[in-house]
Amino acid sequence: MAIAACTPQVARCDLSVTRDLTFTSADAQESVTASVSGVSCDKTIALYAIHDADGVPIWSWTSPTPRAFGEVFAANDREHVQAFLERWATPTLSTTQHATEWRLLAPGQTTLDQLTYEDVRDRDLPMLCHFSGTARETCVFWEPAAGGAGHLLDRDVEEQDL
């Protein structure tokens, strides 16, 4: 019992940042939340979620934080994690015409077949890209006919300091 009493206690690491966002249309009111949760800041699960104005989730992405972003956070490094979440909760918004052309995609970069990918790209739909790993970004598109977001592609990007 005496040994346990001398062991430093690490506080849970449950942090999040939520920002307003306009993704699905020019007048849409959505929000993005980037969060982590775990027994300590070096052992968290990362969650990226987009909700519509009614709070209905329209996209989410999750991973063990160290697996996606590397072992960059110390157990009690709440300030560093919070700064990371601030950056992560700021996605890039554009349209699918700015997505990589099919002929330039690497194998496995998209799960869509060529016909579907080119159709989505040609229709110039809303596209949101967020970090999903070290020097990696996931891009999703909004499909108004289906009323949902879909995964378009993953791509390498210039690495940013975590």
Within a domain: residue 110? yes
CB atoms within 10 A of CB 84: 25
Rounded to the nearest angstrom, the gap between the alpha carbon of residue 122 and the centroid of all alpha carbons in its chain is 24
- Is residue 151 a part of any domain in this protein? yes
What's the number of domains the chain is made of?
Answer: 1
Torsions phi, psi of 82, nearest 5? -60, -40
With respect to residue 3, please indicate whether it lies within any of the assigned structural domains. Answer: no
CA 88 – CA 34 distance, rounded (Å): 6
Is 162 among the domain residues?
no
Q: What does pTM read for this prediction?
A: 0.89
> Stretch 30-54: mean pLDDT, rounded?
97
Q: What is the pLDDT of residue 4?
A: 52
**Domain boundaries, position 126:** 9-156
Tens digits of residue pLDDT in 118-154:
999 999 999 999 999 988 999 999 999 998 999 999 9
The CA distance from 91 to 147, in Å, is 20
- Identify whether the C-beta of residue 119 lies closer than 8 Å to the C-beta of residue 96: no
DSSP label at residue 51: E
